[in-house]
Amino acid sequence: MNIKVIRKPQLIDKIFVICVAVLMTIIFINLGCALDVAQLKQCVRKPIAPAVSFFAQFLILPILSFIYAKLIFPNSVSMQLGLFFTGISPGGGASSVWSLLLGGNINLSIVLTTVGTLESFIMIPFWIIFLGKRIFSVGEMPVPYSRIGFSIVALIIPLCIGYCIQRFMPRVSRVMTRILKPMSSCLIIFIIIFATVTNLYLFKIFSWKIILAGAVIPWTGYLIGLLTSIVARLPTPDIISMTVESGIQNTGIAIFMLKFSLGQPAADITTVLPVAVALMTPIPLLICFIIKKCFGKKDGIVNIQDPATESMLDKKECDVPAANSENENNQA
């Protein structure tokens, strides 16, 4: 007789989701306050980076995730599916936060995240039909269109609110722009710590294969994004944003697909893979951020910051002194 034990949803899970949703909303409102529409239009008019991102994230990475799933979990169909679903998911909203912290092009990052999420409407069903059924051939697999659509709305609405604040409440916008970087740092620390505490029960089934699978998807994504953007001869800030965008997956969509594709407790157990990916994703970025902060002004290491992004953050602080000096000149 097979006995299945199904874990009941915990209060801490709901608290974690709500806290992350609220904090991410505030961060994206702040990004809207700092948004440079002229730079945003430039990214859209010359879509070289979005094309390179599509090649890296929706053509190369899904194929590699399928190969990794077969190699790492040759005897577990559910684990193969968990890793594959994570590999075909679009980029996550945290990529904009990391691009900001590492000196990337924040405008490009926003474009890549939005366009990539829209592209996933087509690419997720394509890869499920083309490769997914080779792993899991039980009728039609549901594609979470509502979840994908919600992630687009959740990205765009806070940005629009922030941009309206920038246009009609410039003083409030200046304050929110000043706290953008420190608040982004706090958000990353909060997510890493709280995600670890929330998913402690999953660590009981962690193995070297789970850790390897959790690292290989995002770290391969970083490498693909880096190499393809270098080949495309993009500027350094764009390379940073491309690298970050290619490695960060929207694990929430992967978890959602697993919940609908597998019964319990298989869905809950397989969730360990997107969770492992989420935990392993920030490690290289965190190392780069620490190096940038600690050694950026020492040992000749360049502390890179995209000029467009830097101007977005600085121009808010310069508005008041400039206005005051202009008034003094008029009085003189």
Please tell me the predicted confidence (pLDDT) of residue 96. 78
Average pLDDT over residues 170-188: 74
Report the range of poorest mean pLDDT among 59-63, 82-86, 144-148: 144-148
CA distances from 321 to 175, 176, 181, 328 (A): 15, 18, 22, 11
Taking the C-alpha atoms of residue 258 and residue 114, their distance in angstroms, rounded to an integer, is 23
- Give the model's confidence band at 124: pLDDT under 50 very low, under 70 low, under 90 confident, else very high: confident
Which has more confidence, 177 or 262? 177
Here the contacts of 168-172 (C-beta below 8 Å, separation 24 or greater) are 170/316, 170/319, 172/33
Q: At what angle do helices 106-127 and 145-168 cross, to 10 degrees?
A: 170
Smallest CA-to-CA distance from 65 within 215, 195, 208 is with 215
| pTM assigned to the model | 0.71
**Residue 285 CB: number of other CB atoms within 10 A?**
23
Please tell me the predicted confidence (pLDDT) of residue 212. 93
Taking the C-alpha atoms of residue 23 and residue 19, their distance in angstroms, rounded to an integer, is 6
Whether the bond into 265 is cis, omega within 30 of 0: yes
